[in-house]
Chains A and B, each alone.
Chain A
């Protein structure tokens, strides 16, 4: 479990994160929501070990995050950032294989794993193509495959279960460039991964998708947590309306009865 306790971070007098507490459970899809500039990406950077907070504590599997070595962290969690610009043209296979850096796999194992993971994100046919020639959405799925490979590659954990040795995935808007079909596919994939025991911390903009797929929702506003709970709990209050300051009507999803929001026009 990853626990964040009263985390605060400021830059030039302005608080970016203010007393944030939350936890990422293995086997759960935790979705972080919030308006632009609420501190979502900053929180992700703190939780994944890229940024050090001014105050507060983060523990990963009962050990302070700062005590983890970079090499051990790379085997424990994978991070997909928002924009990745690659200056030189690698092939898709080469890009995905970068995710295997923390591990030492045989060529055969590596090839099989890369192929399997590309199938998961629906890009198996692109393996020999040049990464730079793909569309933005396709590149996003290749990068997702790269971070998935980083977690799949552990020879000590059974490929289908992450319960024995919990692993975590941090995603910053992983579906921002995807079409409807691919969005659904990726979110369903994330759901399956959590059922296998993976803990996922995912930043999304779409509150409806978050309510539909998230096990746990965290709403951030100006660096503060204004809501932390399940989607059904979120439907009881009016945090969405006040945090986003948008004119919305609340509906209920016809299949799942989960809350959904629509513009009042």
Chain B
């Protein structure tokens, strides 16, 4: 029973990691851009959740309004700054986004203070669900169901809509898509906003479970990198399976060896690198 509990926890956690990594991967796939500010936007999502919940008294409004706000900020960053550096090498992307992450982190401390906050579990999802003799927190069940829904919606968006088609075609050949008459600037900005918005959404969803603090960005970024190193950058399936694997490892290890649970995430990555240097779904 304890293990079932931890497996469910791991699924929820893994789906959150999936959302973050999917955003990172979608951006990288189309834009060939590495976003080191991804973790900072995740943190921002969490803080928006706190503020919007305080302001309106409802977690649901923050869940609805938070991701668009994060996406809008990302869109603004893309249009003003990031757009200028696509053609530069990855090292430049990394340094500029590290700069953005620093600015976001320090701004967050200026607005919300350096001390972490906790966010109450939303109304209607407090308490536990009991099945026979097994009890599980309602919010965590909601989390699994909701993230699965988002995951499906994302798959539908990428695989079955015109926008998704353009994103996938652009990942293969940006020039060709541009030549066929697509406004590539707009597509890039929207994709960047979508990917970062996913990080914001993940930040909001995880806030009631793990709380928020201004220095959570780098931690989350590290985990997202582990997921994409395991799953292969640019691979949607890789992000899903990598995220779930990391979530399950962390969750199961936390019963066996609580202090080493975070450590084991990175151990998993090292093992994957040694056995399969290009990740489970990556291409050489």
B partners with A: no
